[in-house]
């Protein structure tokens, strides 16, 4: 599949001048549905005010979009059942389908969280295919779109949404919906402003970490050494019973970090030197 190409008209040295849009898939990933879909997602226990849904593109929404089906992106709805308010993580494909799914659950989507700037997560041109993304989200809801501060220009460039329409966040920030608190973790490497979201023992990880493998580090803005430090730093500190919810179905829908640490090669590399050898390049 051929990559699309973006050129920033007003690029500065601090901004991405050119964004080559490729699949988020990393060589060596299991493009896999072979991890099998769970017949039912683990849901918060009855009486829990947390609203949490994982939706797979091509299966749960974007049903007639062949490219969405091929990309196997996950989107997430997270909110408070008490207040009826939710946010959507990575609204890229079939944004109306995602918002309608929340509405059918009696939830109002008031904001969006972007794990990173790639068009299969926030919208834009992907191989010449226009992905709706946050532009459609803003049009329909007017809600805030939370993007890591390192990535405002990248998201603007990819989606065509003005930076002033985005809400900048940083690692350690929190977003509260009723009593549900979502914590932002800055996990650079796959991209400069990649971020994960932690909510009540669930880690929504975007393309930083999959059940099998991790995000590729050869796309614009990627930094293999930074990804090593993200995986061995903040993510390594999380308890083993934290449940990983990835940005793509590469090897499965969810698993505890304890199990992922046992089975995922990306978490079993013992030194930065070995990591750089595996990922390509030498430590800076
Ligand atoms: Fe990505």
CATH no. for residue 261? 3.60.15.10
Query: Phi-psi category of 121—alpha, beta or left, where left has phi over 0 and alpha has psi -120 to 50?
Result: alpha
Give the CA dihedral 155, 158, 164, 168, nearest 10 degrees: 0
Interval between CA 47 and ligand 1 midpoint (Å)? 35
Q: Domain range spanning residue 108?
A: 48-279
Residue 129 has pLDDT above 90, yes or no: yes
Quickly state the pLDDT bin for 41 (edges 50, 70, 90).
Answer: low
The single residue listed with the structure tokens 């049903």 is 63
Residue 2 lies in a domain: no
> Using one digit for the tens of pLDDT, what is the confidence trace for 156-183?
999 999 999 999 999 999 999 999 999 9
Mean pLDDT over the full length of the chain: 86
Categorize the per-residue pLDDT at 43 as very low, low, confident or very high, splitting at 50, 70 and 90. low
Whether residue 60 is contained in a domain is answered as: yes
d(CA 206, CA 259): 18
pLDDT in tens, 138-157: 999 999 999 999 999 999 99
Number of neighbouring beta carbons within 10 Å of residue 41: 13
With residue 103 as reference, give the H or E element that holds it. helix 95-104
pTM over 0.75: yes
CA 142 to chain centre: 21
Q: What percent of the chain has pLDDT over 70?
A: 82
In the predicted model, what is the mean pLDDT of residues 261-266?
Answer: 96
Q: What is the mean pLDDT of residues 89-105?
A: 98
Asked if the structure places residue 1 within a domain, the reply is: no
Contact 131, 160 (CB under 8 A): no
Residue 111, in any domain of the structure: yes
Ligand 1 centre from 72 Cα, in Å? 12
Confidence grade of residue 71 (pLDDT, cut at 50, 70, 90): very high
Cβ neighbors of 274 (< 8 A, separation 6 or more) are none
How confident is the model at residue 40, as a pLDDT?
A: 43
Length of the chain: 284
Q: Let me know if residue 227 belongs to a domain.
A: yes
Q: How far is the CA of 254 from the centre of ligand 1 (A)?
A: 18
Query: Which range among 13-22, 251-260, 261-270 shows the weakest confidence by mean pLDDT?
Result: 13-22
Asked whether residue 110 carries a pLDDT value surpassing 90, the answer given is: yes
Quick check: helix, strand or coil at residue 74? Answer: strand
Q: Which residue has the higher pLDDT, 5 or 115?
A: 115
CA 139–ligand 1 middle distance (angstroms): 24
Spell out which residues have Cβ within 5 A of ligand 1, the ion: 24, 118, 207
Instruction: State what percent of residues in the chain have pLDDT above 90.
Output: 80
Residue 8 in any domain: the answer is no
Residue-level pLDDT at 280: 72
* Residue at 32 is within a domain: no
Q: Which one is predicted more confidently, 279 or 94?
A: 94
Residue 83 — very low, low, confident or very high, per pLDDT cuts 50/70/90? very high
Residue 42 maps to a domain = no
CB 259 within 8 A of CB 224: no
150 C-alpha to ligand 1 centroid (Å): 15
Please give the distance, rounded to the nearest whole angstrom, from the Cα atom of residue 100 to the centre of ligand 1: 25
């608190």: which residue's tokens?
Answer: 181
Asked if residues 93 and 134 have their Cβ atoms less than 8 Å apart, the reply is no
Looking up tokens 């059942």 gives 81
Alpha-carbon span 71 to 270, nearest angstrom: 30
pLDDT at res. 277: 93
Of 35-39, 69-73, 157-161, the poorest mean pLDDT is in 35-39
Q: How many domains does the chain have?
A: 1
For residue 145, what are the CA distances in angstroms to 135, 136, 165, 167, 203? 10, 11, 8, 6, 19
How many whole angstroms separate alpha carbon 31 and alpha carbon 212? 10
Cα 106 to ligand 1 centre (Å): 30
Q: How far is the CA of 13 from the centre of ligand 1 (A)?
A: 22
Distance between the two ends of the chain, CA-based, in angstroms? 32
pLDDT of 170: 97
Query: Can you tell me the distance from the alpha carbon of 69 to that of 41, in angstroms, rounded to the nearest whole number?
Result: 19
Tokens of 95: 């944004």
Distance of CA 206 to the CA centre of its chain: 3
């Amino acid at each position: 599949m051929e990559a699309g190409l973006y050129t920033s008209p007003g690029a500065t040295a601090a901004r991405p001048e050119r964004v080559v849009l490729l699949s988020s898939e990393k060589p060596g990933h299991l493009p896999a549905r072979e991890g099998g879909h769970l017949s039912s997602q683990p849901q918060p226990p009855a009486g829990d005010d947390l609203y949490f849904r994982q939706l797979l593109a091509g299966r749960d929404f974007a049903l007639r979009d062949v490219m969405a089906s091929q990309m196997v992106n996950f989107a997430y709805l997270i909110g408070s059942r008490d207040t009826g308010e939710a946010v959507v993580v990575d609204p890229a494909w079939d944004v109306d389908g995602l918002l309608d799914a929340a509405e059918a659950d009696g939830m109002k989507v008031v904001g969006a969280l972007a794990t990173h700037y790639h068009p299969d997560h926030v919208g834009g041109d992907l191989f010449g295919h226009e992905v709706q993304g946050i532009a459609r989200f803003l049009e329909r809801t007017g809600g805030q779109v939370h993007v890591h501060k390192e990535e405002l220009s990248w998201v603007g460039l990819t989606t065509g949404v003005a930076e002033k329409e985005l809400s900048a966040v940083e690692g350690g920030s929190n977003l509260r919906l009723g009593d549900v608190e979502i914590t932002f973790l800055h996990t650079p490497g796959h991209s400069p402003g990649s971020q994960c979201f932690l909510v009540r023992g669930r880690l929504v990880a975007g393309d930083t970490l999959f059940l099998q493998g991790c995000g590729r580090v050869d796309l614009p803005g990627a930094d293999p050494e930074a990804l090593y430090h993200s995986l061995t730093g903040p993510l390594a500190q999380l308890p083993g019973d934290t449940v990983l919810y990835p940005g793509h179905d590469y090897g499965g829908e969810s698993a505890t970090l304890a199990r992922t640490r046992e089975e995922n090669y990306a978490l079993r590399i013992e030194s930065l030197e070995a990591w750089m050898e595996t990922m390509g390049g030498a430590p800076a």
